[in-house]
Amino acid sequence: MLQGPSGFPAARAAQAALHYFNYKLGSPSSLRALGHVKKASVKNIPGVGQKYFLQFSTKDLQTGQKLGMCLGSVFYLKKKPKPTVEISCTHNKEPDQRLQEDYSLYLSIRDNNEPSLDHLWALGTVGSSYIAWEKSTEDSSYIMTQIKNVKQWRRADESLEFDYSVVLANDVSESLSCHMRIVWNLAQPMKVKYVCSSEDESSGFGEGSGAEVGSASGFFIEPESNF
């Protein structure tokens, strides 16, 4: 039976779908943020879970410019830790344009000892979108709100590898502190590994107080790791 979900569950489901979209696209130059949920319905499947059907607007995460609409479904299964998502969006950048912009961002990070904080944030947002999608539930939706610390690893190949210490907050005033390892290569999907804990617990991976976005401190380069 289809029902109309209230505002918060629909917005959480739309946010989960968008996290999935941002991670799967894997493009730091093409990140989308949630605009408004235009239409939403939910189907309860007894013993299996809840499936949301959504139409929502989006905007450019960095500029706030209005982008296209997205249609998606988000299936919260009782026996699976993350929702199953299907999503398609309009007004996507042409693949060549997206690749060119990502390549410029890639070169900027690779060739600078202290990369742009905006670029580090964009790269971290792609990785944190994977965490936020996996952590999404009907009752909670996370979004990255702070980068405490960034460490880059030197690699012999063309990939970029970083350790991030980030904070993900949800819409019920709870936060996760996460240590995230990402490997980004333009020719391949981004690889992400992570460990998270509640903000009021010891995370076990912090190094001092780190630095919030807006300061270049906390960024340093280490020899190659074994991802």
Residue 2 confidence (pLDDT): 52
The answer to whether residue 150 sits within a structural domain is yes
The per-residue pLDDT for 174 is: 84
Whether 227 is covered by a domain: the verdict is: no
149 lies in a domain?
A: yes
Tell me how far apart the alpha carbons of residues 176 and 2 are, in angstroms, rounded to a whole number: 33
Q: Which residues pair with 168 in a beta bridge?
A: 144, 176
Q: Give residue-wise pLDDT tens across range 86-129.
A: 999 999 999 999 999 999 999 999 998 889 999 999 999 999 99
Give the type of residue at 138.
E
Residue 215 lies in a domain: yes
pLDDT tens by residue, 135-184: 999 999 999 999 999 999 999 999 999 999 999 998 777 899 999 999 99
Whether 62 shows a pLDDT value over 80: the answer reads yes
Number of domains in the chain: 1
The whole-number pLDDT of residue 227 equals: 52
Quick check: is 114 in a domain?
yes
CATH number, residue 111:
3.10.450.10
Identify the domain containing residue 107 by its residue range. 2-222
Six-digit token string for 65: 């410019």
Non-local (6+) Cβ contacts of 107 within 8 A are none
The per-residue pLDDT for 1 is 43
Higher pLDDT, 202 or 146: 146
The closest alpha carbon to 139, from 2, 13, 1, belongs to 13
Domain-located, residue 32: yes
d(CA 46, CA 31): 35
Give the predicted TM-score (pTM) of the model: 0.85
Strands 66-77 and 84-89: what pairing?
Answer: antiparallel
In a domain, 162, yes or no: yes
> Domain for residue 115, yes or no?
yes
In the 3-class helix/strand/coil scheme, how is the chain assigned residue by residue? Answer: CEECCCHHHHHHHHHHHHHHHHHHHCCCCCCEEEEEEEEEEEEEECCCEEEEEEEEEEEECCCCCEEEEEEEEEEEECCCCCCEEEEEECCCCCHHHHHHHHHHHHHHHHCCCCCCHHHHHHHHHHHHHHHHHHHCECCECEEEEEEEEEEEECCCCCCEEEEEEEEEEECCCCEEEEEEEEEEECCEEEEEEEEEEECCCCCCCCCCCCCCCCCCCCEEEECCCCC
Average pLDDT, the chain: 86
